[in-house]
Amino acid sequence: MAIKLKPVDVAIIGLGGAGGVAVLPLAQAGLKLAGIEAGTWLDPHSFRPDEIYNNVRGWPDSVQKANREVPTVRNSPNGPILPRPAVHAMMNAVGGTTIHYWAQSWRLNPWDFKVRTRVIGRYGHSAIPAGSTLEDWPLTYDELEPYYDTVEHAIGVSGKAGNIQGKVDPLGNVYEGPRQREYPMPALRSTGFTELMRDAAIKLGWKPFRPPAAINSEEHNGRSACVFHGYCSRGGCHIQAKNSTAVTTIPAAIKTKNLTVFDRAHVTRIGVDANGRASGVTYLRGGKEYFQPAAVVLLASYTYENTRLLLLSKSKAFPKGLSNSHGQVGRHYFGHWVAAGNGGVIALFPFDLNVWYGTPAQGMVLDDWADDNCDHSGLGFIGGTNLHVYNEMHPIQSAGMETFGEPTFGSRWKSFIHQNAGRWNTAHLQTSTFPYEDNFLDLDDTVLDPLGDPVCRITSLPRPNELRAVDFAQRKMEEWYRAAGAINVVRRPMNPPGVSTHAYGGTRMGDNAETNVVNRWGFSHEVPNLGILGASVMGTSGARNPTLTVQALSWRTADHLARNWKSIAL
Amino acid sequence: MIPFDSATIHRARETMLPARRLCSVSAEALKTEQPADSRQRGNVGTGRPSVDLRTRTPISSATLPEVGFRRSPAQIHPHRKAIMRPECSRSARYSWEALPTGVAPFRHILWVMRSPPTRRGISRRTVLAGVPLVQVSAVAASAASSASAFTPDQMRLIDAVVERFIPSDELGPGAREAGVPVYLERSFAGHLSRERSAFSEGLAAMEVAARARHNTAFAQLSPAQQDEFLTAMERNEVSGFRPDSRSFFIRIRQLTLEGMFGDPWYGGNRGFAGWDLIRYPGPRLAVSAEDQRLREPIKPLRTSARGGR
């Protein structure tokens, strides 16, 4: 029998990028919070410039919950399960994957919030991809803007504004929506390589700029500036210049004395009372089972786990899974189409690029073909791609480079990599991705986690719209590399995304309870005191990293809860 | 990469969890939360390097103590009663101190050690009291069961294959000289122990195919024959592999790259031969704008992130 704990106001499942932000406005409002986190506090002493530890083995010392329940992937509804990835893309820790993410902190483009209306208005109904379940978001960019602004300042984001209250600055992103003020910190410094790419883009008549990042470009809130040591990708920051929630909002919330963190706590179910309201959270910790009663439950694990936990939490009131009476949990799922690494565009230059160090957010980007920034008439797809070139290359990764037709082993290969391991580059191309009728998450009864619960199953099909968009972007990327002096470029075809660090949907946000799980404020249509945080509520991806949008939405849901506490909790 | 077939899963489930729920975060679950490669973490809590500081060679796995925590958490952190977590290990502190770059000491250390207090309900201390003991036993058990990952014949085969991937030549040491077989041996004795049987099957398939083609062991073939054989594997022209020869070729090549170009602490990249080969300037604590210019050579800094140089 579970040990029953004293009730709290709000139980938050997961203290990562989403839950780790939501705790701050709630704690500041005086609510008593239990932060229930599967991982634990990580010590910056364990953050090493060690590719095998960080990238190859995926932090073997950290809590491995995510790795024990990696979703299975199929590329068709009745197809075979594909091979399992070596390590899960996400990690368990206080701060979650913001400990080791690239920290790219983008706002979505205003277009991303109203894709359906805007596409039909510009290109007609036939332009909506066949089989898609695309809906407009229930809110606009302007409604989210104050929360973007709040989060940018709460965690600290460096960047250069391209549009302050309508005043456009070509040093920033001229395509972005209007923002109320400049970033709290200037953009991360340029490098020889990013300047080379910037000059090439300008020569082509394009509009390059430096991307925003939750990384300190100067000392900020008592933490030092980035030292560009080159192990940021899947690496923790040894000087805390990366603004993970573990060093920003979570410590600030703890300081209010209203947040208690329960680490190494493995949530198994969300409880429901006789009235169909969430009653609390059941979790395992140190070999014992606990039940944490709460007036409000916020589900803030990762996209896959959000859906899985709801489907596993069956009750008399919700026999198909919590908040799933309309069968929408797991629907409208999509992994981001990101052509990158050895699956993207790879370029070889005739000179040393010296991109060993730095951080991926220290890059040069183009939005000229993102979102709806160019006319898509006749292109055969909607949405677009942000083109991103960046710094940071690790030695195993660099030696594993594309060989451009040369042998892949032996003395000749050895001499090839001796010359070229420091001369190649690969771009990060993020393409707008949309939900479809037969892309979804459910439970895989043939694969169980160590507790005997089925893992999540991804069904992810090839999509003509996204395939065409990726192909278009890859050609533009090749043009960009060649203009910068690349002597060889290959474009690799992309497969449908599998287990992704950018996973969306499953608990989509929308006004229509028949097709969405949560309402415009992030609370369940069916369970009024259950809020859901994370990219699982997003109905479109945009052409860029989701984290800042996830955090702005989380802050907004938390703020709404604090302001309407009586009507939601009682 | 091991296919996640239902048999594997079933086996994992059988061994990992006899009963539902209550034992979930007990010994077995903790074991997977601890590094499986215990001998690579042999210096945990002792502050001792696993690389010989004078000769730059890794101290062989056999001489490393097969223990996890040698002292009780209270001895390690007398000022602090919470548990000693693996991520707070002294080896980590050691390694950063060993880096010669002149960055100021980290003033953020203290807050991390300060776990957030438990306000209500059970106390952290109560719940976690038994944890360090479980860790020691789990680590010791996994070390004992993994004394040797491969047979001598398998090691000879691995030796021969990695040397063809990266041969010794005028450009410098090859994979054998750089300790890549040591990396593989240690990896499969520890972190990759669950992949060991699948990998051994691949090695066996190589031997069978080599004997069928040339009537002799792979290691006895001439370098040209070996290269020809590996090329055939890469082209997926050799039968007997599961799922196919190309997959095994890719796997063993990737492991060779990891050993050759990874941190020397793991047994390969001896004398930084791999980093010298690709002209990687080496990890450092802080990087200036000058080290991010195009074309300019960067002065290499040869040090392991884990201590030792």
Q: How far is it, in rounded angstroms, from Cα A218 to Cα A225?
A: 4
Determine whether the interchain pair B164/A410 forms a contact, defined as Cβ–Cβ distance below 8 Å. yes
The length of chain A in residues reads: 570
Task: Report yes or no on whether pTM surpasses 0.90.
Answer: no
Six-digit token pair at A32? 């008593």
pLDDT of residue B137: 33
DSSP assignment string, A90-133: S--STTGGGGTS--B-PPPPHHHHTHHHHHHHHH-GGGSPTTB-
Sign of CA dihedral B270, B275, B276, B278: positive
The SS3 assignment for B245 reads: helix
**Tokens at A310, concatenated:** 């709801």
Contact A260 B274 (CB under 8 A): no
Q: Which residue of A lies nearest to B113 if distances are taken between CA atoms?
A: A43
Q: Mutate which of B23, B33, B265 to test chain A, going by most A C-beta atoms within 10 A?
A: B33
Q: From the CA atom positions of chain B, what is the Rg in Å?
A: 22
Q: Which two tokens stand for residue A325?
A: 């009476």
Write the pLDDT tens digit of every residue in A305-344.
Answer: 999 999 999 999 999 999 999 999 999 999 999 999 877 9
CB contact under 8 A, A44 and B109: yes
A204-263 residue pLDDT tens: 999 999 999 999 999 999 999 999 999 999 999 999 999 999 999 999 999 999 999 999
Q: How far from A382 is each of A136, A370, A428, A461, A536, CA to CA, in Å?
A: 14, 10, 19, 18, 22
SS3 label, residue A358: strand
A94-119: per-residue pLDDT in tens?
999 999 999 999 999 999 999 999 99
Helical (H) or strand (E) element with A4:
strand A3-4
- A520 phi/psi in degrees, rounded to 5: -65, -15
- Which of left, alpha, beta for B239 (phi over 0: left; psi -120 to 50: alpha)? beta
pLDDT at B18 exceeding the cut of 50: no
Instruction: Using the structure block, give the residue that is written with the tokens 């992130």.
Output: B305
State whether A48 and B305 contact (CB < 8 Å): yes
The predicted-structure confidence for B80-117, as pLDDT tens digits, reads as follows 333 333 333 333 333 332 323 333 333 333 222 223 33
pLDDT at B3 over 60: no
3-state class of B179 per DSSP? Answer: coil
For A417, list phi and psi in degrees, rounded to 5: -75, -30
pLDDT band at A266 (very low <50, low <70, confident <90, very high): very high
d(CA A256, CA A139): 31
**pLDDT above 90: residue A124:** yes
Q: Which chain A positions have a beta carbon within 8 Å of B29's beta carbon?
A: 68, 450
* CA distances from residue B185 to A94, B147, B190, B196 in whole angstroms, order as listed: 34, 10, 9, 10
The tens digit of pLDDT for each residue in B25-73 reads 333 443 334 333 333 333 333 333 333 434 444 444 333 332 333 333 3
State residue B105's pLDDT score.
34
| Region A279-283 average pLDDT | 98
When the pLDDT of each residue in chain A is averaged and rounded to a whole number, the result is 96
Which chain A residue has its CA at the smallest distance from B114's CA?
A41
Give ipTM to 2 decimals.
0.95
Sign of CA dihedral A130, A136, A141, A144: negative
Tokens of A58: 């995926």
Chain A residues with beta carbon closer than 8 angstroms to that of B20 = 451-452
Q: Which among B259, B116, B228 is positioned nearest to B164, based on CA atoms?
A: B228
Phi, psi of A329 (to 5 degrees): -70, 125
Cβ separation of B265 and A192 shorter than 8 Å?
no
Q: Are A297 and A13 in contact, with CB atoms under 8 Å apart? A: yes
Instruction: Give the H or E element holding residue A13.
Output: strand A8-13
Tell me the one-letter amino acid at B266. Y
Q: Is A417 on the interface with B (CB under 8 A)?
A: yes
If you average pLDDT over every residue of chain B, what do you get?
66
Give the mean pLDDT of B168-181. 98
CB contact under 8 A, A227 and B285: yes
Pairing of strands A33-36, A259-262: parallel
- Residues A338/A466, Cβ–Cβ less than 8 Å: no
Report the alpha-carbon distance of residue A371 to residue A109 in Å, rounded.
Answer: 7
Q: What is the 3-state secondary structure (H, E, C) of A406-466?
A: CCCCHHHHHHHHHHHCCCEEECEEEECCCCECCCEEEEEEEEECCCCCEEEEEECCCCHHH
Domains in chain A: boundaries = 3-69+86-569
Residue spans of alpha helices (H) in B80-123: 90-98, 109-113
What pLDDT is stored for residue A45 in this prediction?
A: 83
Q: CA–CA distance from A11 to each of A14, A280, A345, A531, B148 (Å)?
A: 9, 7, 44, 10, 47
pLDDT of residue B308: 55
Q: Tell me the Ramachandran region of residue A105: left when phi exceeds 0, alpha when psi lies from -120 to 50, beta otherwise.
A: beta
Inter-chain CB proximity A410 and B227 less than 8 Å: yes
Q: Chain A, 444-473: which have a CB under 8 Å from a chain B CB?
A: 446-448, 450-452
Which residue, among B261, B275, B284, B288, would best test binding to A if mutated, counting the most A CBs under 10 Å from its CB? B261
Say yes or no to pLDDT of B290 above 70.
yes
- Asked if B160 and B219 count as a contact pair (C-beta separation under 8 A), the reply is yes
Contact B118 A260 (CB under 8 A): yes
Q: Scanning every residue of chain B, which has its alpha carbon at the shortest distance from the alpha carbon of A452?
A: B20
CB contact under 8 A, B112 and A259: no
Nearest-Å Rg of the Cα atoms of chain A is: 23
Closest residue on chain A to B291 (Cα):
A354
Do B306 and B263 meet the contact criterion of CB atoms below 8 Å apart?
A: yes
Cβ neighbours of A56 in B, within 8 Å:
258, 262
Is the domain spanning A3-69+86-569 CATH 3.40.50.2000? The answer is: no
Q: Which residues make Cβ contacts (< 8 Å) with residue A556, sequence separation at least 6?
A: A144, A147, A521, A522
A114 touches chain B (CB under 8 A): no
Give the pLDDT of residue A88: 84
Q: Which residues pair with A387 in a beta bridge?
A: A366, A429
Write down the H helix ranges in chain B.
6-16, 27-33, 73-76, 90-98, 109-113, 124-128, 131-144, 152-165, 180-189, 196-214, 223-234, 245-261, 273-278
